[in-house]
Amino acid sequence: SARDGLGAYIAKPESYPSSVVINHNADFVAIYDMFPKSSLHILLLPRDQSKTHLHPFEAFEDAEFLAKVKAQVYKLRSHAAGELRRKYGKYSAQDKARQEALDLEPPPDVLPAGRDWEKEIVCGVHAVPSMNHLHVHVIAVDRYSERLKHRKHYNSFATPFLVPIEDFPLSPDDERRHPTREGYLKRDFVCWRCGKGFGNKFVELKQHLEQEFDEWKRL
Ligand code: 5GP
Ligand code: ZN
């Protein structure tokens, strides 16, 4: 079924171009999300056959496995931060090339302290995943994408429905263990950046997300 779509990447990562599979090793495959819900949306797929069919909450009960996944997620977040820096950073590769071509050196004391792009990336799992194979989202915070087309798309990344990887192991009484899908996904919209409420007005939220994206990427 369509819910098994991520299995192919785990089985044969080498058969995809680098525009689809970012990197892979014996234990993990990193891919670009085919329907990105942000300006950068990556998925980490653990290949462990004993874990790939488990719900993330169950898979992450194994402390050794969780530690491995976390380490790989943080590596991937750092890779993703590099992508954001290249896309939006004030001193992009293009700027550098231009400056080199002009034989100019940027004056060192006016260079801004580099923005910490890792802080602009969220890593986590959905409390109720829709795809069957275990995966961790590594996603830029902007939630700005043409593919963000439905109200549940926004709320699935902007409410406790997204459980950050650093919150694992979850305590036994963590309320996210018993998500009422409806509860989180049907909540009123709240802007991830300024906290403004949009009720159930999706079109207005989308317009606002575009404004926030423009400011966020240039900050
Ligand atoms: P979930 O809601 O299960 O946590 O997220 C599954 C993610 O997989 C979604 O963000 C969705 O866009 C993505 N996705 C679904 N099918 C495919 C696919 O065939 N290839 C890729 N690369 N991503 C997919
Ligand atoms: Zn806002």
Structural domain spans, the chain: 2-218
CA distance 164 to 12: 28
**126 Cβ closer than 6 Å to some ligand 1 atom:** yes
> Is there a contact between 46 and 154 (Cβ–Cβ < 8 Å)?
no
- 199 Cα: distance to centroid of ligand 2 (angstroms): 13
Ligand nearest 33 Cα, by number?
1
CA distance 27 to 190: 37
- 122 Cα: distance to centroid of ligand 2 (angstroms): 17
Query: Within its chain, how far is the Cα of 143 from the centroid?
Result: 9
pLDDT at 89: 87
Atom of ligand 1 nearest to the CA of 5: 19
ipTM value: 0.99
C-alpha dihedral, 187 to 189 to 191 to 192, nearest 10°: 30
Instruction: Specify which residues 121 forms β-bridges with.
Output: 140
CA nearest neighbour of 13 among 35, 32, 39:
32
- 71: exposed, middle or buried (Cβ count in 10 Å: 0-12, 13-18, 19+): exposed
Instruction: Specify which residues 41 forms β-bridges with.
Output: 139
Give per-residue pLDDT as tens, 68-122.
999 999 999 999 999 999 999 876 555 566 667 777 665 555 455 589 999 999 9
**152 Cβ closer than 6 Å to some ligand 1 atom:** no
Spot the catalytic one: 24, 126, 135, 137: 135
Q: Using the predicted structure, report yes or no on whether residue 190 has a pLDDT greater than 60.
A: yes
Q: What is the CATH number of domain 2-218?
A: 3.30.428.10
**34 Cβ closer than 6 Å to some ligand 1 atom:** yes
CA nearest neighbour of 48 among 32, 31, 25:
25
Ligand nearest 127 Cα, by number?
1
